[in-house]
Amino acid sequence: MREKIAKSFLELFKKEPLISFAPGRINLIGEHTDYQEGFVFPAAVSQGIWVGICKNETTVSKIHSLDFEEDFAFDINDFSPKKGHWANYIMGMVSLLKQAGYPVKGFDIVFGGDIPVGSGLSSSAALSVAIGTAISAVFDFKISKKSIAIYAQKSEHLFEGLNCGIMDPYASAFGKENHALLLDCRSNSHEEIPLELGGYSLLLTNTNVKHKLADSAYNKRREACEKSVEILQNSFPGITTLRDLTPDDLAKVKELLPVELFPKAKHVIMEDHRVKEAGDCLKNSDLIAFGKLMWESHESLSKDYEVSCPELDFLVKSSKQKPYVLGSRMMGGGFGGCTISLLETSKKQELKDYLSTHYKNQFNIDPEFIEVTPSEGARILG
């Protein structure tokens, strides 16, 4: 991809670009907890987005997307979001960096990637982080990875209207080879945990569906959590998010919350607890216990948080038939995208064949299998 970007850049802009890369991410466990300042357990992967960039000494930035085979231009002193367009991820970062006082001027970009679209590996966060990394290098200013991650999150809020948490850009910025990041979304700091799986592997299965209204449902879940916190603050003074509650508080939480809010709050409180347990399991190489937490996470996301869909539920349920699968769950925001499964490496092909046949019979859609390796975070390639 790097060579492809450089070649295309030379053809279009007659220059050699500087190239940045930012990876997509997987998440081992900890879904819909980041925006309640909770815990998540992502890892960056080898798939990602490459950005070729050069200053152009004008105020107009010209962008070419290799994947969409599309051009876009905007004046860096006068632009606004364009609903649903990939250019929002670039304009959003430019807007926030300029607002923060960084010296951003006109530039040209060619970008492309190898993250399957709609798979839930967070190509949008990877694009934003790759853009932040590329712009800071080409205009020669220092900015921390954490700031790039925070701007990427804000850019998604302001330019795309998705009130996401910090997990995706953070993982893309801070990823580490062969490690997962046990991330505390209150302090925005993490512990790197070696991902040593012995004879086991992770496998993603893409449902190849993305149900409509996923974004509005996402924002609604976030609002439900905020509403719960508001109600609970009367009886639990000092709490600022659901992260401040523990499984021991659940009985009281149930008494206080309306029936429609309780299952949502319960998911977040229990999922936070599972992430911490999962961290211990990995440190102790207890993959069986880790897998059990993955099944529980899916059950909770599907039944209590209601962000799964029939396709994801089917894949998880089918995987559960196989004793060599230690755990499987939906990954990311939900309503489509991938499951992540932990299974015996020697049985990988067997599982792929089994799921392919059954999933196709059920939904008349071919699933797609994605191999992932925990990898380094965003960087300049030169």
Beta carbon nearer to ligand GAF, 123 or 341: 123
Cβ(108)–Cβ(62) below 8 Å: yes
Restricting to residues 240-299, name those near ligand GAF by CB under 6 A. Answer: none
Q: Is 108 noted as a catalytic residue in this protein?
A: no
Beta carbon nearer to ligand GAF, 327 or 333: 333
- x/- binding map, residues 292-331, to ligand GAF, per CB under 6 A? ----------------------------------------
The answer to the question of whether 123 is labelled as a binding residue is: yes
Figure out which of the listed residues 31, 37, 249, 311 binds ligand GAF, where binding follows CB under 6 A: 31
Could you give the CA distance from residue 13 to residue 62 in angstroms, rounded to a whole number?
9
Cβ(373)–Cβ(46) below 8 Å: yes
Beta carbon nearer to ligand GAF, 26 or 281: 26
One-letter amino acid for residue 269 of the chain: I
CA 162-153-123 angle, 5° bins? 80
Q: Tell me if residue 180 falls in helix, strand or coil.
A: strand
Restricting to residues 105-124, name those near ligand GAF by CB under 6 A. Answer: 122
One-letter amino acid for residue 50 of the chain: W
Beta carbon nearer to ligand GAF, 5 or 268: 268
Angle between helix axes 167-174 and 145-155 (nearest 10 degrees) is: 150
Instruction: Report, in Å, the least distance between residue 253 CB and ligand GAF.
Output: 21
Q: Catalytic pick from 168, 184, 272, 313?
A: 168
Binding of residue 32 to ligand GAF (CB under 6 A): yes
The answer to the question of whether 156 is labelled as a binding residue is: yes
Q: Name the one range near ligand GAF by CB under 6 A: 31-39, 46-54, 235-243, 245-253.
A: 31-39
Figure out which of the listed residues 175, 332, 336, 377 binds ligand GAF, where binding follows CB under 6 A: 332
CB crowding 168-192: b at 16 or more within 10 Å, else e: bbbbbbbbbeebbbbbbbeeeebeb
Beta carbon nearer to ligand GAF, 167 or 180: 167
Instruction: Report, in Å, the least distance between residue 124 CB and ligand GAF.
Output: 8
CB crowding 236-271: b at 16 or more within 10 Å, else e: eeeeebbbbbeeebeeebeebbeeebbbbbbbbbbb
Beta carbon nearer to ligand GAF, 48 or 332: 332
Could you give the CA distance from residue 269 to residue 256 in angstroms, rounded to a whole number?
15
Figure out which of the listed residues 132, 279, 333, 336 binds ligand GAF, where binding follows CB under 6 A: 333
Identify which of 164, 211, 208, 189 has the alpha carbon closest to the alpha carbon of residue 334. 211
Restricting to residues 163-182, name those near ligand GAF by CB under 6 A. Answer: 164-165, 167-168
Could you give the CA distance from residue 155 to residue 148 in angstroms, rounded to a whole number?
10
Q: Which residues are annotated as a binding site for Mg(2+)?
A: 124, 156
Q: Which residues are annotated as a binding site?
A: 31-34, 65, 118-124, 156, 218
Residues that bind ligand GAF (CB under 6 A): 31-32, 34-35, 122, 164-165, 167-168, 332-333
Positions marked active-site:
168
